[in-house]
Structure 1
Amino acid sequence: MDRDMFDTMTITKAMGALCATFLVYLLGAWLASSIYFGGGHGHSEQAYIIEVEGADVAEDDVVEEVDFAVVMASASAADGETLWRNCRACHVLEPGVHGTGPALYGVVGRPVQFYDDFAYSGALIEAADVWTPEALNGFLENPRGYAPGTSMGYNGMRSITDRANLIAYLDSIDG
């Protein structure tokens, strides 16, 4: 008689009950999640806003403008040399020797489209006539923003100190 208790039908019923319980749990978790998070997959608008007096501008959002001339005056060519490794994938420091980009020997202070044997994008000449330290700073910060349509695929160098150091290094290599 105990044998009938563990026949295959009883085991099948027990497994079915276990699977049904697990299914109800999963559906309940999905329903609770969609109710709690809004079902919009994170793209829904905030239902209400609590106004807090004096909290219009967060302290982290305040960006202090730094004068590039001040940063450039204290730039380190030695530190810029270590930053050069990012540039050498596409540029060369020998006069007239081009990589994917034009040779950067003597770039500081020279005309933007200096080499006749290099196919510059027209966007650069629209941005500047001469590669001054300020023009290089703007270009290195965001090439596509400074010269829209440029073929330079670099995303930019965010640190103003790094840009100044790199420009100081480029300025130092041509004597």
Structure 2
Amino acid sequence: MDTMTFTKVLGGLCGSLLVFLLGSWVAEEMYHTGGKHGDEQQAYAIEVESDEAEVEVVEVSFDEAFAAADIDKGKKLWRQCSACHKQVDGANGTGPHLYNVVGRDKGSVDGFGYSGVLASMEGDWTPENLSGFLESPKNYAPGTIMGYRGMSKIEDRASLIAYLQTNGE
């Protein structure tokens, strides 16, 4: 095989590839005539009945969730809190002790250095206030240094607060 034969074979292969590429480009342009591909409107749409019923989200009030709270579940949820808080009167950890916290004045634990916003808050830690704080500490008390991201489920918050309520006088 000489150089001329090799050049002819290579030219034939390249020419065939070019014909296929150009043919593909022409066919694509013929069948997609409206601007960018995928922007076209359908000529007609077929409506299909859905078998799925719409799920209605029922919002549970905190009072209902607190009335149905599971103390055993709250005890399990306490493990998250126990990294920073203690349940022994006067034993502060990274956070203040939570012994008898339900009904206690906000920012009233002696010997604990609260962040400014919590130290200046008025009122008691009622179950509703604790629920709001546990849902999102940063939203409830902007400027707090508590690094907890929050507990989104109202049932979990109610169970934890019910458990904390059992630990006290």
State whether TM-score is above 0.5: yes
Displacement, 1:113?
A: 1.1
Report the counterpart of residue 89 of structure 1 in structure 2.
83
**Pairing 1:98–2:98 present:** no
Aligned-residue sequence identity (percent) comes to: 49
Q: Please report the RMSD computed on the Cα atoms of aligned residues, expressed in angstroms.
A: 3.3
**Pairing 1:157–2:162 present:** no
Given the superposition, is the C-alpha separation of residues 83 and 128 from structure 1 closer, same or farther in structure 2, using an over 3 Å criterion? farther
Contact 1:80 1:167 in 2 (8 A): yes
Report the counterpart of residue 125 of structure 2 in structure 1.
131
Given the superposition, is the C-alpha separation of residues 109 and 36 from structure 1 closer, same or farther in structure 2, using an over 3 Å criterion? farther
Displacement, 1:118?
A: 0.6
**Pairing 1:170–2:132 present:** no
Q: Distance between the aligned counterparts of 2:37 and 2:143, measured in 1?
A: 45
Contact 1:137 1:164 in 2 (8 A): yes
Q: Which has the higher helix share?
A: 1
Contact 2:106 2:121 in 1 (8 A): no
Given the superposition, is the C-alpha separation of residues 129 and 155 from structure 1 closer, same or farther in structure 2, using an over 3 Å criterion? same
1:68 to 49, 62, 79: 62
Q: Distance between the aligned counterparts of 1:37 and 1:132, measured in 2?
A: 56
Q: Distance between the aligned counterparts of 1:100 and 1:125, measured in 2?
A: 16
TM-score, L = length of structure 2 = 0.66
Q: Distance between the aligned counterparts of 1:36 and 1:118, measured in 2?
A: 64
Counterpart of 1:166 in 2: which secondary structure? helix
List per-residue Cα deviations over 1:92-126 (Å, max 9, x = no partner).
Answer: 11111111111111111101112221110122255
**Pairing 1:122–2:116 present:** yes
Q: Distance between the aligned counterparts of 1:123 and 1:36, measured in 2?
A: 56
Q: Distance between the aligned counterparts of 2:88 and 2:138, measured in 1?
A: 26
Question: Unaligned 5+ residue runs, structure 1?
Answer: 22-34, 39-58
Question: Unaligned 5+ residue runs, structure 2?
Answer: 22-35, 40-53
Q: Distance between the aligned counterparts of 2:5 and 2:108, measured in 1?
A: 93
Displacement, 1:4?
A: 9.2
1:143 to 121, 137, 145: 137
**Pairing 1:78–2:68 present:** no
Given the superposition, is the C-alpha separation of residues 127 and 69 from structure 1 closer, same or farther in structure 2, using an over 3 Å criterion? farther
Given the superposition, is the C-alpha separation of residues 37 and 104 from structure 1 closer, same or farther in structure 2, using an over 3 Å criterion? farther
Question: What is the number of equivalent residue pairs in this alignment?
Answer: 140
